[in-house]
Structure 1
Amino acid sequence: MLEFAGSDGILRNPSRPSDMPGTLVALLDRAARHAPDRPFVIETAPARPDAVARATTYAEARHAAHRIAANLAATTPPGAVVVALPPGVDHLLLTLAAYVAGRPVVPVSPAVFEHDDEVRLRLLRAVGPGLVAVPSGRCVPAAERLDAPVFAATTPEGPAAPLATLLAADADTGAVPPRPPDPASVCKLLLTSGSTGVPKAVAQTHRMLTANQGMLAALLPEACAGPPVVVDWLPWSHTFGGNHDLHLVLAHAGTLVVDEGPARDPDLSRRLRRLSAFRPTAIFDVPRVFDRLVASWEQATDDAARALSRAEVVFYAGASLSADTFDRLRRLLARHGPPGAFVSCGYGATETGPLVTAVPAALARTRKDPRGIGIPAPGASVRLARADAGTELWVSSPAVAPYYVGPDGTRAPVADVDGWFHTGDAGSLLDPADVAAGLRIDGRLAENFKLATGTWVPVAAVRERLAAALGPQVRHVVLVGPDAPFLAALLFVDGDPAPGLVRRVRDVLTHLAADGGGSSRIVRAAALVARALDPAAGEITEKGSVHEARVRTRCADLVAALYDGTRTATVPIVRVDDPQSST
């Protein structure tokens, strides 16, 4: 039973999390004892996405982790283990070895080194690297600037050593086996995206990460049963893939099949084949990928039947799923999934391990609104705190991180003096009359902005309303208008906008304007942009979310055209107060 202190705005789940060992090393030891020959991580080849190309079992992974930890002690200076490898066996073994050795692992995107990202390189220098592992020689020049030994998986250049020498699991170094880590010790440093500020490294301890798995197991036991089989592309440099999914598999001695993700598998054909071949017991993804999976499964029912046949839970996070995709996904799961299967979602942050809330089975089977993020996990409390730009979600739980590391190496506490982590996310009760319905997210407070009138724009609410009214022909909605006289939008569409779509946009803007809501909720102009958002330019983050500030910057000329009346023949602009707008 949830507890809600209305006067303080605190929603609390007093239930107990499931019991978990105090360290990730203890989780590995337990899995290796109980399921030594079970595959932990499986890689497949792009040419054969339905066949095993490489795998490691729990017994093999534990043995290798201890040997590599000894190699680290014998051959590299003390310090953090920076891993810029894609998810897979090598990345896994280095991560486990760092856990065993008592060194923090710092997983980062290879793009940090490929694009010489000085902001993040400075942050990596601040955490004190002891070694850097990169995928190829292309990354070596930037990696060398961290003043630590560099190991490259392929084509090492200059002083970089082959990664295989570090991963040689049978090397006899004569090093003394490390002591078991302290549960309070920092085992991982995850970099924040920096989409709403300067990137920071979040220090994560063994205890907070194992506690978070106990919270997850108590709230969503269906996701952990089986043992779980997960087919996952989510990057391990972010908390959804690298903590939530990877540690869920570890905690329950399951199997993780590595996928490539939409950047390397743009039509998702290989992801669809892997889902059909390995038949996961739980499917985790972001809404923009579920949009496409659902469309494919509706056309290929045999693939849907195989992919969903064992899926007790289909879970999305990172953004809200559209009502249309939500309903279609539920129908597919009801038709092809096991009895009682359900669509869930959750909310969390890098600073919280990540899980804070999720939609449990009982709530999932009755809910109609995909915007809900569920209820606090056992042991967690969420406070609805008033802020200038809205109501902010504050979190207290056993899984809140202890501190940040900034680019200058200074530490700052994650939580305030009372133990609350201020998430920066706006939120509210999904149904003020029914606390049991849980919470909803209303966007990032930092993305809200003021018009020239001084009125705050609730960006997420306006964007969500506009996107729902326009339908799937519009892939992304980016609102513009900080310090501007009125609110406008960039609408990213597939292909050249047909006259019918332009008319529909005008009708929708006119209808929404007639509904009222004030200047902060009425979009007076919109540009139809016939291109996809570009992940390489930072418009789409690795997590799949839209970096709106980056989009506005890259479309600065178009944004100016929305306000000064400039017309263009290539990008239609619709104005609800101008019936002669461009068509």
Structure 2
Amino acid sequence: MTISHHDLAADINAQRPNAPFRPVRFAPVEIALETRDDGAILLTNKQPLQPLPVQQLCDYLRKHAQERPLQTFLAEPEGDGWKRISYAQARASVDALSQWLIDRNVPDDRPIFVLSENGINHALLQLAAMQIGIPVMPLSAAYSLMSETCAKIRDLTQRFEPAVIYAADAQRFGKALSVAKPLCNAIILSDAATHALVDACFDEALGTPPSADVEQAYARVTPDATARLLLTSGSTGVPKAVVMTQRNILASGVLWDQVWPFLADEPLTMLDWLPWNHTAGTHGSFSMVLRHGGTLYIDDGKPVPQLIGRSVRHLREIRPNVMVNVPRGLDMLVACMEEDPSIAAEIFPNLQVIIYGGAALLPTTLLKLEQLSVQATGQRIPVTSSLGSTETTMPATLGWWPSQSLGTLGLPGPGVEAKLIPDEDRYEIRFRGDNITPGYFRDPEANQASFDEEGFLITGDAVVFIDDKQPEHGLLYAGRLSENFKLSTGTWVSVANVRERLLEELHPLVSDVVLAAPNLHELGALLFLNLAQVRKTFPGLAEAAQAQIAQHPDVLAAINKRIQHYNAIFPASSTYIARALILDRPPSLDESEITDKGHINQRGVLKVRAAAVDRMYRANGSEGDCLLFGATR
């Protein structure tokens, strides 16, 4: 028995409000489909990509600095308020920083590393480097702050030899700076000289008078110049540095604006926490605001229990009109709205659309978002998703209509060609277009392996049509090709489908699931607890250690009951959970069990937790942290 989209969606669809969707000005849905002799499908948007309106991203900064000089471009929390910088101020600061980089002879073949989280100075440095042809590589702060050894910082420094390393707080990032500095002799830039390794302070760099050298360097930057180097998650090996050209970034923006023309209808205001070392944050929210001369409020909250309150407080104050988020962020936002309905009443009236990516959204969360928006405004908020990767600049497919189907990834944007290659009951999807990276920095082997003979990017993702007879309804995600595995019976396990349905059943007590294991006789599940929700559900465990919680009878009973309910619905050998193990520690970044994006690395967990998998399959009865559910029916 397979888990189909329709099986999962039927009950939720029946509960969805009958209210109209908010009237948002989207482009018409016009898709061309060509089926080749070998069964492959070429799926394209009938609307061609419009010509690039500018030569490089900073042309937008200069345009808005002239046309709306006093408009706030960026704002970040400061005390009880916001520190702001206008478009005119940003233009002046970016030019000064460009001159500073020129004066120090920073080359264009060695990147600038940014270790810090999102911030005004971070943004200014990125724009200053890119506008004169120096690539910038923002890194996950977790590589510096959550790693005991800063092993990834060491590896990246050795491979890519940064010319400048920026850390806003040199003390806080001191361990990473101490690891990197001896390996590359980079200029260490920080907001203050609080560490012995700091070579220059940011305010001093901002004081550099720009000269004609800046304009000359600016004029040399073409659409094919490298702008950013963004790292892949590293879930299949060491992170690769994806080359993002100016053309990639501009084309991604143009295709988005063509199908979302409403972005030009009113001043764009966004609040966003998504980190700029990921394409969703930097090419989604940041670039969207810059293109349209809007205002980006940099959120210092995020979807974790100790910080979600700050995000909600900022949302109530700012009231953005577009939201880009991840499913976990929307899950937590909905929970806050249910506890305090006034949050929805303040946020939804100004919000035109929500777009999410990175993982599947629980159908119950989508349902609640619609219900809450109807309660607040009388209309359903359009909630849509996209399919993209670091290599596609974001997005490759997206939704530009109020979908009646749950979880759609949308369709290819203008200028994007999608090649769908049959793979049993789904399709492997590949992409080609101006938004697709030309390759990986200093990695010819990866370049050769990542593109097919026609120049399509090999994504490793699988999709299906919502309706084979009506492709205009969009695509659904069908997992990673490399994740699925066979049991010893020869039965294939569709990891993405099983994981999504099981997580929905175990929500909110379990934060993630890893399915085990290739070539074994039955399906097992390793469970990572959502400790905050478990302690909230069982107040008596508020002070208990994770190892104690993993074996507590009340927790075991609750999870046992939910898995039994799941198994009753999905009893086939490819879906039935025969045994489960509650893990007593969270996934490790250093051991590559989890990516810096927070995504579980299935293969990494199975490798690191091999002893736990072995113990789970040797268990003869439910005991301790292990649960058994009997044989498949």
Give the TM-score of the pair, scaled to structure 2.
0.83
Q: Distance in 1 between matches of 2:378 and 2:597?
A: 29
2:484 maps to 1:438: no
Which whole-Å CA distance do the structure 2 matches of 1:281 and 1:207 have between them? Answer: 27
In structure 2, what is the equivalent of residue 10 of structure 1? Answer: 42
Residue of structure 1 in register with 2:55 after alignment: 22
Identify which of 564, 569, 579 aligns with 1:507. 564
Residue of 82, 89, 102 corresponding to 2:133: 102
Partner of 1:463, secondary structure, is helix
Letter in 2 for 1:64: S
Deviation at 1:474, TM superposition (A): 3.5
Shift of 1:539: 4.6
* Superposition deviation, residue 325 in structure 1: 0.4
1:450 correspondence with 2:490: no
Give, in whole Å, the separation in 1 of the partners of 2:632 and 2:393. 50
What is the distance in 2 between the residues matched to 1:211 and 1:461? 32
Which residues in structure 2 correspond to 1:405-424 (within 5 Å)? 405-406=441-442, 412=448, 415-424=451-460
**Alpha-carbon distance between aligned partners in 2 of 1:199 and 1:350, rounded to the nearest angstrom:** 11
- Residue 146 of structure 1: aligned partner: 184
Instruction: Give per-residue Cα distances to partners, 1:37-83, cap 9 Å, x unaligned.
Output: 111110013x63xx21x221111111111111011010243132211
Q: CA deviation at 1:269?
A: 0.4
Tell me, yes or no, if structure 1 residue 55 matches structure 2 residue 95: no
Give 1:307's aligned residue.
347
- Conserved? CA contact 2:505–2:562, under 8 Å: no
- The aligned residue for residue 119 of structure 2 is 88
- In structure 1, the residue matched to 2:218 is 179
**Native 8 Å contact 2:576 2:632 kept in 1:** no
Q: In structure 1, what is the equivalent of residue 576 of structure 2?
A: 522
- Measured against aligned partners, the alpha-carbon deviations of 1:311-358 in whole angstroms (never above 9, x if no partner) come to 101111111111100100112223335967411111111111111111
One-letter code of the match for 2:561?
R
In structure 1, the residue matched to 2:546 is: none
- CA gap of 1:567–1:340, structure 2 versus 1, over 3 A, is closer
Query: Aligned in 2, Cα 1:527/1:14: closer, same or farther, shift over 3 Å?
Result: same
Task: Quote the residue 2:201 is aligned against.
Answer: 163
Counterpart CA distance in 1 for 2:96 and 2:449 is 35
Does residue 552 of the first structure (1) align with residue 589 of the second (2)? no
1:402·1:414 contact (CA, 8 Å) conserved in 2? no
Structure 2: how far apart are the matches of 1:408 and 1:417?
Answer: 16
2:271 aligned to 209, 231, 236, which one? 231
- Tell me if structure 2 keeps the 8 A contact 1:208–1:401: yes
- 2:516 maps to a residue whose letter is V
Deviations 1:331-389 (A, max 9, x none): 2223335967411111111111111111113x43xx1312x111111121212113589
Is 1:574 matched with 2:628? yes
Q: Give 1:73-472 correspondences, 5 Å limit.
A: 73-78=102-107, 79-114=110-145, 115=147, 116-119=149-152, 121-135=154-168, 136-137=170-171, 138=174, 139-144=176-181, 145-154=183-192, 156-164=194-202, 167-171=205-209, 175=213, 177=215, 178-180=217-219, 181-223=221-263, 225-262=265-302, 266-336=306-376, 341-361=381-401, 363-364=402-403, 367-370=404-407, 372-387=408-423, 391-406=427-442, 412=448, 415-472=451-508
Q: Residue 398 of structure 1: SS of its match in structure 2?
A: coil
Matched, 1:480 2:516: yes
Classify the secondary structure of the residue corresponding to 2:612. helix
CA RMSD, 1 decimal: 2.8
CA distance in 2, matches of 1:117, 1:475: 26
Contact 1:389–1:448 (CA<8 Å) still a contact in 2?
no
Deviation at 1:211, TM superposition (A): 0.8
In structure 2, the residue corresponding to 1:488 is in which secondary structure?
strand
Q: By how many angstroms is 1:412 displaced? A: 4.8
Matched residue type, 2:388: G
Residue 491 (structure 1) shift: 2.9
Letter in 2 for 1:252: H
* Corresponding position of 1:563: 617
- Conserved 8 A contact 1:113-1:143: no
CA-CA distance at 1:84 after TM superposition: 1.4
SS in structure 2 opposite 1:355?
coil
Moved more, 422-431 or 464-473: 464-473
For 1:265 and 1:468, the matched residues in 2 are separated by 19
Which of 25, 31, 52 matches 2:64? 31
Seen in structure 2, the aligned counterparts of structure 1 residues 539 and 297 have a Cα distance that, compared at 3 Å, is: farther
Residue by residue over 1:467-498, the C-alpha shift from the partner in whole angstroms, topping out at 9 and shown as x without a partner, is 33445443322211023222211233443444
**Does structure 1 retain, via aligned residues, the 8 Å contact 2:622–2:628?**
no
- Give SS of 2:237's match: coil
Q: Structure 2 CA distance, aligned partners of 1:506 and 1:324?
A: 18
How far does the alpha carbon of each residue in 1:450-469 deviate from its partner, in whole angstroms, 9 at most, with x for none? 33345432110121232334
Q: Is the CA contact 1:133–1:150 (under 8 Å) kept in the aligned structure 2?
A: yes
Letter in 2 for 1:16: P
More strand by share: 1
Distance in 2 separating the partners of 1:566 and 1:158: 58
- TM value normalised by structure 1: 0.89
Instruction: Number of aligned residue pairs: give it.
Output: 568
- Aligned residue for 1:403, secondary structure, equals coil
Distance 1:539 1:18 in 2: 42
Bigger shift: 138-147 or 559-568? 559-568
Question: Unaligned 5+ residue runs, structure 2?
Answer: 1-29, 535-548
Q: Deviations over 1:12-61 (max 9, x none)?
A: 1120345532310212222222222111110013x63xx21x22111111
Rounded Cα–Cα distance in structure 2 between residues aligned with 1:142 and 1:487: 43
Q: Separation in 2 of the partners of 1:101 and 1:437? A: 43
What percent identity do the matched residue pairs reach?
A: 28
Greater RCO, CA 8 A, separation 6+: 2
CA contact (8 A) 1:123 1:201 kept: no
Residue 71 of structure 1 aligns to a residue in which SS?
helix
Letter of the 1:65 counterpart: V
Give SS of 1:477's match.
strand
